[in-house]
Amino acid sequence: MNTGLFKRVMLLSLFSLSLLSESCDKDCYNPSLEAEFKDKMCTMDCPKVIGCDGKEYCNECEANKKGVAVDN
């Protein structure tokens, strides 16, 4: 196999995998939640919470501002 072609196939595969994993993270994104919390001030209290996307946020308000719900 041509080295240049192999590199392109590998890059395309990696790009496809990154798109697939990002779409999984977006499954719990809620634009109405983001709109509701967009202008709210969050407290500085930082107990660390996990959003429905599996990522860690400082608190529920910060997660909601990004459109991510938190399971309590």
Contact 8, 33 (CB under 8 A): no
Structural domain contains residue 35:
yes
Phi-psi region of 7 (alpha: psi -120 to 50; beta: other; left: phi over 0): alpha
Identify which has the larger pLDDT, 21 or 14: 14
Looking at residue 20, its pLDDT comes to: 40
**Structural domain includes residue 72:** no
Which amino acid appears at position 72 of this protein? N
Taking only the tens place, the pLDDT of each residue in 16-38 is 544 444 444 558 999 999 999 99
User: Does 71 fall in a domain?
Assistant: no
Global confidence as pTM: 0.62
Tally of domains within the chain: 1
